[in-house]
Amino acid sequence: MISIRLSKDLESKIDKLSKQENTTKSDIIKEALEKYIAEEEYKMKPYLLGKDLFGRYGSGKGDLSKTYKTKLKDKISEKISN
């Protein structure tokens, strides 16, 4: 269980909302926290989101980062000559 201190203004707003929605204050706070956590997880750095996928699938050609310029020039030359 977690206890938190809220400003009187925020507590009043939650109280009004709970009456309007006919739900408990706890449920409102839980839902708000779930939305906040989901948004924060979405903001994670792209590397962390795809970390388990990187290196999983490969082309089988380990020299692509070293030879990409040559390969690109060859492709362009082929297009120009055709």
pLDDT of amino acid 40: 85
Single pTM value for the model = 0.52
Domain ranges of the chain: 7-57
pLDDT per residue over 18-63, tens digit each? 999 999 999 999 999 999 998 887 777 777 778 888 876 777 777 7
End-to-end Cα distance, the chain: 72
Buried b (16+ CB within 10 A) or exposed e, 23-35: eeeeebeeeeeee
Task: Print the SS3 string covering 32-55.
Answer: HHHHHHHHHHHCCCHHHHHCCCCC
Position with higher pLDDT, 15 vs 68: 15
